[in-house]
Structure 1
């Protein structure tokens, strides 16, 4: 099978067009990438006690809060007040339930500049 002289360049151009990354094809400016931020938190649950250790390795300030959902229906779920984690700082958050803990997580709040 022999291709004509017009088909081969057209096929090559279409192949390049579809294999180039989207940013190279579009005329729009690429979006600015956000610098990484936010504290990394590790949560330890021991039956009714919860402790979260948050370390902020970035040069921006992060605000974290600990949320605890208790297993029993009559046990009150708790949310801690947001605390500030400064750059290169480690912060510990503690909480508890009367009986068992169902789940716990840490939320991050952006601090206004």
Structure 2
């Protein structure tokens, strides 16, 4: 390999490392019909909390249907926790789930139910 190509390759690798760019790892995508919830790709969700209200926005970039549920743990003992019904998110679809506590929110998360 000529010296100029080696320098170009070394410079490219160094710049990629500094920028935090890595080559995507090759991995097999499991079949959509898999029963293992760890294997089935599911919707990607983001949560937001504003005072006593919580919202989750989920987008499904995969070719399967994903079922998502919003869970809200309220801070006060007298404030009931919230668990939404499972909502189906089809391929390339977006769903917004919301709920609230009477007072403050302690924790918010989204679960993925493979059975729906």
TM-score range, shorter chain: 0.5 to 0.7
When the two structures are aligned, how many residues end up with a matched partner?
81
* Per-residue deviation, 1:33: 5.8
Q: Give me the TM-score of the superposition, normalised by structure 1.
A: 0.67
Question: Which has the greater radius of gyration?
Answer: 1
Gaps of 5+ in 2: 1-27, 32-39
* Per-residue deviation, 1:42: 0.2
Residues in 1 aligned to 2:105 and 2:82: alpha-carbon distance in whole angstroms:
11
Aligned alpha-carbon RMSD (Å): 1.7
Contact 1:64 1:83 in 2 (8 A): yes
Q: Give me the TM-score of the superposition, normalised by structure 2.
A: 0.65
Residues in 2 aligned to 1:34 and 1:40: alpha-carbon distance in whole angstroms:
17
1:19-73 CA distances to partner (integer Å, 9 max, x unpaired)?
Answer: xxxxxxxxxxxxx762561000000001200000000000010000000000001
Instruction: State the secondary structure of the residue aligned to 1:110.
Output: coil
